[in-house]
Amino acid sequence: MRQKDFMISPRFLQGQELENFLRFESLSESEKILEIDKISPPFTYRLRIGRNFSGRIYPIIAEVPTQILKEFLTQHVDPSFLKTKELTQRIPWGEGSFFFGDEEHIRWEILTSTVSELFRQIENSPLEKLENQNDFDYDPELGYVTSCPTNAGTGIKISFKLSTKSWENRKNASFKIPGFLEFYLENSSEFVVFYLKNFTLSQKNSFLNLVYYLALQVEPA
């Protein structure tokens, strides 16, 4: 579980890109968000929070009886979504949506095209309700217990996606990716998705540095 901020080494940047990154590091968080929005990197941002209900079993597919889900959702969502016999796969909540039938019992997710909108939606959603250790499986040492062991801890995954063409079009496409950053290819390698598991909202400043670091090395939108 990542407890501290993650550091970005600028040693692979050169010339003006290096100067820009060092200047960016000195900005406040609000200034960094404005700067990233200004250069408009071709990224799509997503934040997911996975939770398993307290005392539930962990089958191969983390399905939960509809009644169990409804007992939780009754306290949090518009009752009109709970009138049907079967729940829909997506229910709006806060600035994002709840999803069901995934590897975790319940997942909350937002998807945005700008980093400012990402954090606006985070800050305007009642995420403290997903921190209730009585509602969800929680271990003092492991954190939130999840079906997928690599999600255990905060249960938060933050990611951003971009087209691989953003790299291919650059004259120098051999830049380095920080070792802590994981990624996978999507849609027959048309897109690459970078992600961080066990993200904490206190790492916002580090995440902004990471986004800017990669934004310097891709073609603008």
Segments making up each domain of the chain, as ranges: 15-157+198-216
Distances (CA, A) of 135 to 51, 130, 144: 9, 8, 11
- 106: tokens are 């319940």
Please give the full DSSP string across 56-82, using - where no structure is assigned: ----SS----HHHHHHHHTTTS-GGGG
Q: Cα(212)–Cα(214) distance, rounded to whole angstroms?
A: 5
List the chain pLDDT tens, one digit each, 221 residues. Answer: 444 566 666 666 778 888 998 999 999 999 999 999 999 988 999 999 999 888 765 554 545 656 777 778 888 888 777 777 677 778 899 999 998 877 788 899 999 999 999 999 999 999 999 998 888 999 999 899 888 888 889 999 999 998 877 665 555 555 567 767 777 777 667 888 889 888 988 899 989 998 998 888 776 65
- Supply the pTM of this predicted model: 0.83
3-state secondary structure of 123: helix
> If phi over 0 gives left and psi between -120 and 50 gives alpha, with beta otherwise, what is residue 20?
alpha
| CATH 3.40.50 at 15-157+198-216, yes or no | no
